[in-house]
Amino acid sequence: MNRLALLTLATVAFASPPAHADDYFLDGIFVANNAAGEATPQKQADLQVQCSLTPMINHKNGSFGEYYLDQLKFVATSEISYVKAREGTCSMDKTTQIETCHSTFFAAGQAQPAIENFNLYSTFTPQKIVGHGFDTMDALKKWQADGSKPDNETFAEYGCPDVTEAMVTSHASKDINPADEDATYKSLYYQSDPTPADLHLATSVLAALKK
């Protein structure tokens, strides 16, 4: 599974998968597959394992939080600590079927300026969503006018049945994300397929969460 390449804050804000309001019936933990709309069966299994590394909490009221595991702390001490990198709310225009999200990114010990982004979906179920993200409404409308091409801002989210919100929030750090923007992006979005070491780490974390 290809994750997002290292991008600017504004780009990550629209290319990152969103959370959803109660019209979507999405509630719980999800994991992102940003580089393609579909995952192969094997990669979907990998996605489920990665739920323990980069969990996203979605609530039916539209609020969400995006976290990453402090991997250095876990490797050194076996302590699970989730750092919140982003939070926000989303709402859907039932007429246009365009989703609008407002989110705040945390880095270097402080909240960054709030960002607005817009999303359209081609697949929408409680277990999986596939969509396209845009940083402005003009960009979205131009994409529609151009025949929905190119298809390079596709993202997908898959539900994580083995990870609960309580597992994440009970291990959430009380500190504002201390990592800088670049380090945070690398923690949230793989730049290539996860390695065997990544998957081994994720499996170990998932096992620890279930104890």
- 113 part of a folded domain: yes
pLDDT score at 121? 86
Helices (H), the chain: 9-15, 41-50, 71-77, 137-145, 165-169, 181-188, 196-209
CA nearest neighbour of 97 among 117, 133, 121: 121
Average pLDDT of every residue of the chain: 83
- pLDDT tens digits for range 12-28: 333 455 555 555 567 88
Q: What percent of the chain has pLDDT over 90?
A: 50
**What's the pLDDT score for residue 40?**
73
- The single-letter DSSP state of residue 112 is P
pLDDT at 2 over 80: no
What is the number of structural domains in the chain? 1
Q: pLDDT tens across 158-184, in order?
A: 899 999 999 999 999 999 999 999 999
- C-alpha 63/C-alpha 82 separation (Å) is 18
Residue 4, in any domain of the structure: no
Say how far residue 87 (Cα) sits from the centre of its chain: 10
Q: Domain range spanning residue 57? A: 9-209
